[in-house]
């Protein structure tokens, strides 16, 4: 592997002291402003996230790939980063962290944003929520600088400052005690261009004014953050080799192909996999879509909100989303629901995650009962608190078409839905949950014929057999149709 591939990538990571500090709005604003200035920005999101990644992708005008050292090992994370930034099509790689800079799974900070910054040898810009604090913020920054000295904190952005006096006190305190430059100070937002739901932003697909919000964030950043400093910090990483040197990186694809991988096969004999994608079902990792295309599938995008029925497909992938906010429309499309149920009964391979699991059930119980596809004998309701939130570890302990018995699956779950009725048995679920809630009784992964439905979201980098198996099942289904 050439050293220039490991060293010559301008890169920067934006982190914060905690979740909810406003780093996503800043990230979106920085990326949009840089793109407006003609820069080619490749966005990444640290951690298991769909919504923030969707905003970053909209800002950059290209897919945002997730870098998560729990879901995939360091070698694969480095490979992903390099494959999407090499090839001369990148002026800047911009990585948004998650939660607090040093927050991880344990006291050693495993899988933290800081650990990713070290792995990629990326300089860090720290977003500071300055609400109701002044000089104390200097003490906090000083603690961050000394907590893990090998993390390169190169700049600070003061966020949610109350006015010029507030900003001046914090700036002077940090300059006196910390020695890290303040490269921006952003005032509290009066107008809400980024409405939130649950624990994050409204997804871009459900935000009618998404382009207005992107421009508003770019203007906010341009007026209050020194973008030249952001570029200088990113460019300072060009001489820093990535820490993945010597990790024996997999070499199954050349550098520079990352931006084009979403193109699916156009071979008429290729198996056709339907991807349910609309404002109700929108949570898909770009890596998962890429993996299906790379395995030989032709991807057909469909919507139970607008399509009158299923097209000619050989398998179906239904990702996560918010079917509860579209329950009336989903229930009203009776023909689509019936065709999915009939296809599943006839043996169509169907893989469903979270929102997709809910759609395959009997009904959603909200203000009233909304019938769903009825493939699975399960009724869902909703809670005001998360019913599953965080990383998952599952062991496959039942025969199924998708995973070999004994396989350990690492994933994540995040849902407010809960099971009200379950007409099956625990033996019909293939996952035993070592970590995470699953569907019920520490079980997940309902298996019915060629249907597999689970609360656990997987990432294809860490679970490569998923895409290969789904495409293989689709290929077999296509051959059966040809010979009938």
Mark which of 192, 224, 239 sits at the end of a domain.
239
Per residue in 251-286, pLDDT (tens digit) is 444 433 333 344 445 566 899 999 999 999 999 999
Other CB atoms within 10 A of residue 20 CB: 13
Phi, psi of 168 (to 5 degrees): -60, -45
The per-residue pLDDT for 357 is: 98
Residue 65 and residue 197 in one domain: yes
Contacts 24+ apart (CB under 8 A), 107-116: 109/148, 110/69, 110/70, 111/68, 111/69, 111/70, 113/13, 113/15, 113/46, 113/47, 114/15, 114/148, 114/151, 115/69, 116/13, 116/46, 116/67, 116/69, 116/77
Which neighbouring-strand residues pair with 12? 94
**The domain spanning residue 433 has which CATH number?**
3.40.50.880
CA proximity to 163, closest of 135, 194, 130? 130
Per residue in 60-112, pLDDT (tens digit) is 999 999 999 999 999 999 999 999 998 777 899 999 999 999 999 999 999 99
* Tokens (6 digits) for 223: 């007026």
Residues 6+ apart with CB under 8 A from 303: 276, 277, 278, 280
Active-site residues, by number, are: 354
| DSSP3 helix / strand / coil % (the chain, rounded to 5) | 35, 25, 40
Phi, psi of 316 (to 5 degrees): -140, 135
Residue with tokens 């970053």: 56
In total, how many domains does the chain have?
2
| CA distance linking residue 171 with residue 168, whole number of Å | 5
Q: Is residue 299 part of a domain?
A: yes
Residue 229 and residue 281 in one domain: no
Mark which of 186, 221, 239 sits at the end of a domain.
239
Phi, psi of 450 (to 5 degrees): -100, 20
Residues 6+ apart with CB under 8 A from 465: 403, 404, 407
Mark which of 239, 255, 283 sits at the end of a domain.
239
Q: Is residue 319 part of a domain?
A: yes
Q: Residue 178: helix, strand or coil by DSSP?
A: coil
CA proximity to 414, closest of 446, 440, 437, 443? 437
The per-residue pLDDT for 2 is: 41
Q: Is residue 111 part of a domain?
A: yes
The per-residue pLDDT for 194 is: 54
Instruction: Evaluate whether 302 touches 310 at the Cβ level (below 8 Å).
Output: yes
**The domain spanning residue 84 has which CATH number?**
3.40.50.300
Q: Give the chain's length.
A: 484
Instruction: Evaluate whether 88 touches 256 at the Cβ level (below 8 Å).
Output: yes
Residue 391 and residue 445 in one domain: yes
Residue 271 and residue 230 in one domain: no
Q: Is residue 461 part of a domain?
A: yes
Residue 209 and residue 282 in one domain: no
Instruction: Please report, to the nearest 10 degrees, the dihedral formed by the alpha carbons of residues 285, 286, 288, 290 taken in order.
Output: 180
For residue 136, what are the domain limits? 3-239
Q: Is residue 252 part of a domain?
A: no
CA proximity to 312, closest of 356, 357, 271? 271
Ranges assigned E (strand) in 73-122 = 92-96
Q: Is residue 69 part of a domain?
A: yes
Residue 214 and residue 304 in one domain: no
Q: What CA–CA distances, in Å, run from 284 to 31, 379, 450? A: 21, 24, 21
Residues with pLDDT less than 70, the chain:
1-7, 190-209, 244-268, 481-484
Residue 300 and residue 433 in one domain: yes
Residues 6+ apart with CB under 8 A from 107: none
Residue 385 and residue 470 in one domain: yes
| CA distance linking residue 93 with residue 90, whole number of Å | 7
Q: CA 435, 437, 441, 443 torsion: positive or negative? A: negative
Q: Is residue 254 part of a domain?
A: no
Residue 234 and residue 282 in one domain: no
Residue 384 and residue 270 in one domain: yes
Instruction: Evaluate whether 244 touches 78 at the Cβ level (below 8 Å).
Output: yes
Q: Is residue 248 part of a domain?
A: no
| CA distance linking residue 342 with residue 300, whole number of Å | 19
Instruction: Evaluate whether 83 touches 255 at the Cβ level (below 8 Å).
Output: yes
The per-residue pLDDT for 86 is: 81
The per-residue pLDDT for 258 is: 39
pTM: 0.91
Which neighbouring-strand residues pair with 302? 276
The per-residue pLDDT for 191 is: 52
Residue 149 and residue 113 in one domain: yes
The per-residue pLDDT for 249 is: 53
Other CB atoms within 10 A of residue 465 CB: 15
Residue 269 and residue 200 in one domain: no
Which helix (H) or strand (E) is 282 found in, with range? Answer: strand 281-283
């Amino acid at each position: 592997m050439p050293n220039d591939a490991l060293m010559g990538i301008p890169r920067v990571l934006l982190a914060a002291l905690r979740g909810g500090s406003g780093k996503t709005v800043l990230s979106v604003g920085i990326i949009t402003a840089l793109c407006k200035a003609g820069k080619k920005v490749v966005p990444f999101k640290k951690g298991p996230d769909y919504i923030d990644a969707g905003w970053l992708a909209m800002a950059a005008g290209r897919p945002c790939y997730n870098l998560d050292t729990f879901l995939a090992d360091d070698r694969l994370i480095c490979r992903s980063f390099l494959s999407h930034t090499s090839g001369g099509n990148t002026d800047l790689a911009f990585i948004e962290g998650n939660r607090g800079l040093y927050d991880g799974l344990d006291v050693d900070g495993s899988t933290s944003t800081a650990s990713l910054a070290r792995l990629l040898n990326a300089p860090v810009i720290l977003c500071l929520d300055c609400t109701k604090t002044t000089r104390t913020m200097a003490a906090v920054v000083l603690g961050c600088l000394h907590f893990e000295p090998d993390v390169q904190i190169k700049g600070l952005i003061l966020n949610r400052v109350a006015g010029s006096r507030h900003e001046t006190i914090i700036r002077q305190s940090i300059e006196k005690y910390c020695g890290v430059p303040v490269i921006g100070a952003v005032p509290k937002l009066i107008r809400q261009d980024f409405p939130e739901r649950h624990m994050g932003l409204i997804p871009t697909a459900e935000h009618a004014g998404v382009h207005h919000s992107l421009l508003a964030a770019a203007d906010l950043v341009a007026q209050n953050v020194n973008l030249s400093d952001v570029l200088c910090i990113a460019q300072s990483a060009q001489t820093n080799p990535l820490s993945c040197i010597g990790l024996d990186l997999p070499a199954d694809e050349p550098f520079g192909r990352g931006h084009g991988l979403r193109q699916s096969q156009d071979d008429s004999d290729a198996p056709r996999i339907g991807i349910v994608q609309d404002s109700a079902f929108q949570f898909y990792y770009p890596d998962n879509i890429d993996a299906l295309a790379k395995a030989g599938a032709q991807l057909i995008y469909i919507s139970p909100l607008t399509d009158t029925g299923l097209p000619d497909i050989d398998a179906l992938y239904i990702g996560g989303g918010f079917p509860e906010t579209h329950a009336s429309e989903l229930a009203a499309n009776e023909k689509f629901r019936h065709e999915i149920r009939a296809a599943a009964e006839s043996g169509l391979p169907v893989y469903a995650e979270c929102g997709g699991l809910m759609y395959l059930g009997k009904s959603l119980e909200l203000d009233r009962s909304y019938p769903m596809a009825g493939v699975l004998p399960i009724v869902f309701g909703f809670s005001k608190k998360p019913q599953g939130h965080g990383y998952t570890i599952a062991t496959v302990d039942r025969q199924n078409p998708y995973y070999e018995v004994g396989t350990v699956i690492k994933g994540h779950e995040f849902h407010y839905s809960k099971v009200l009725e379950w007409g099956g048995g625990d033996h019909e679920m293939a996952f035993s949950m070592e970590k995470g809630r699953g569907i019920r009784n520490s079980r997940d992964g309902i298996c019915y014929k060629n249907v597999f439905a689970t609360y656990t979201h997987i990432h294809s980098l860490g679970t490569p057999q998923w895409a290969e198996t789904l495409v293989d099942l689709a290929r077999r289904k296509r051959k059966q149709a040809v010979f009938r």
